[in-house]
Structure 1
């Protein structure tokens, strides 16, 4: 393994393209901490930064054969990190807009409408929450919950890592659960205060 540390990025990339796990490990060891620092500086969230780095290296391994031989490895990793961070920022913006729309919806509920809220209506509200998820997250969440597919099965179908599937399902639940909990608390409070 020690000899891999002497290889240039180009040599490691060529070995990686041929499926050499030791080359991948050397690339990972060489770039993990600097990539983490780069991503953390943009996100200011340790766990999210670790998830981004994990996703980048997973994709590097899974799509190694697609890397051009003359491609700058450091540049490839930095561009992948930047793009992933920008995507996360966009998702967070969408999520914030979504939270505002739910808050607006809840503030407009007529207390007399509480009598008409039944299980069917609650199911419709949940379905609407799912439809408001970002498209890729919604697709993964529905495959998990409606089709009862495992993370591994979803990853295989969508050609992504198990970790990405797991994170997307967790993110979807983080978005949906509070909305439903808040709605339930809101409805319960209105019933009590009537």
Structure 2
């Protein structure tokens, strides 16, 4: 039995804020199984649950200096876990919607058109157009399309209005579509990507 086993949650948190690895290990040992149980009930997927728990405790260590002094540690961990699960569900929803949209396009497109498309060239063309956007527009576009953040989340992160974010995304999509249409047929597939 180590000294950390006898410490209260508050004492462990104080040590964790000082980057004490033994305190972190004790917190992990006390709460990983409980947190895993909560996450598994929400996701019903063993691997995704393990990933969420790994990320939860990694973030706890990385952001230990930002932990409030007086807190209910299990409650704090539960809220972090719940938020990570909600973010995962949101991310998966966007990915599923994109894949469904792409599937619909492929189903409707002729075989000849599909045969002419070179995925690698298309991905490079899209990325080239994204990189050529003005810096702020590029940043907003990537937060929207690559990180799947909502307009509100982007606005909060960048300290601007949702309307400005919406206009930036709209203008970037319009610019990318325009430049790709000029370069040929690959833009057809991009229309699905940029809905």
TM-score, normalised by the number of residues in structure 1: 0.62
Distance 1:48 1:63 in 2: 22
- What residue is the counterpart of 1:18 in the other structure? 18
- What residue is the counterpart of 2:121 in the other structure? 123
Unaligned runs of at least 5 residues, structure 1 = 138-194
- What residue is the counterpart of 2:97 in the other structure? 97
Relative to 1, partners in 2 of residues 1:83 and 1:71: Cα closer, same or farther, differing over 3 Å? same
Deviation, structure 1 residue 112: 3.9
Higher relative contact order (CA 8 A, sep 6+): 1
Matched residue SS, 2:58: helix
Distance 2:16 2:5 in 1: 14
Distance 1:78 1:18 in 2: 22
CA contact (8 A) 2:106 2:114 kept: no
Structure 1 runs, 4 residues or longer, greater than 6 Å off: none
Within-5 A mapping of 1:175-194: none
- What residue is the counterpart of 1:81 in the other structure? 81
- What residue is the counterpart of 1:68 in the other structure? 68
Distance 1:136 1:20 in 2: 32
- What residue is the counterpart of 1:50 in the other structure? 50
Distance 1:103 1:89 in 2: 21
Task: Summarize deviations over 1:111-161 as a string: whole Å, max 9, x none.
Answer: 34356x154x652157669x8995238xxxxxxxxxxxxxxxxxxxxxxxx
- What residue is the counterpart of 1:33 in the other structure? 33
- What residue is the counterpart of 2:59 in the other structure? 59
Within-5 A mapping of 1:104-115: 104-113=104-113
CA RMSD of aligned residues (A): 2.6
TM-score, normalised by the number of residues in structure 2: 0.61
CA contact (8 A) 1:91 1:134 kept: no
- What residue is the counterpart of 2:147 in the other structure? 136
The count of residues paired between Structure 1 and Structure 2 equals: 134
Relative to 1, partners in 2 of residues 1:101 and 1:18: Cα closer, same or farther, differing over 3 Å? same
